[in-house]
Amino acid sequence: MWHTDESLCQSYEESAELIAQRIKTLRPMMADSDVLQRVTLLQSEYNDLAATILVLRKRARESR
């Protein structure tokens, strides 16, 4: 089972990295309210992924 968790964790980490890159790109334009809203949503998605990654890593460690 931990192989599945590890694979899923890797996929989520890649997604989180893409989101982080997008946030970094948008930050200079945050004076625009639409961009600010988008960055806020992206940060929320990033935080959700980070929490999921932590749970998957813990579960993978426990099942070894």
**Per-residue model confidence (pLDDT) at position 41:** 96
- pLDDT tens readout for residues 10-39: 999 999 999 999 999 999 999 999 999 999
Q: Which amino acid is at 3?
A: H
Kindly tell me if the per-residue pLDDT of 1 is higher than 70: no
Domains of the chain, residue spans: 2-62
Residue 42 in contact with residue 19, Cβ under 8 Å? yes
Whether 55 contacts 9, CB under 8 Å: no
Retrieve residue 37's tokens.
Answer: 């809203």
- Condensed to tens digits (0 to 9), the pLDDT of residues 42-56 reads 999 999 999 999 998
- 41 neighbors 11 (Cβ within 8 angstroms): no
Question: Quick check: 13 and 50 in contact, CB under 8 A?
Answer: no
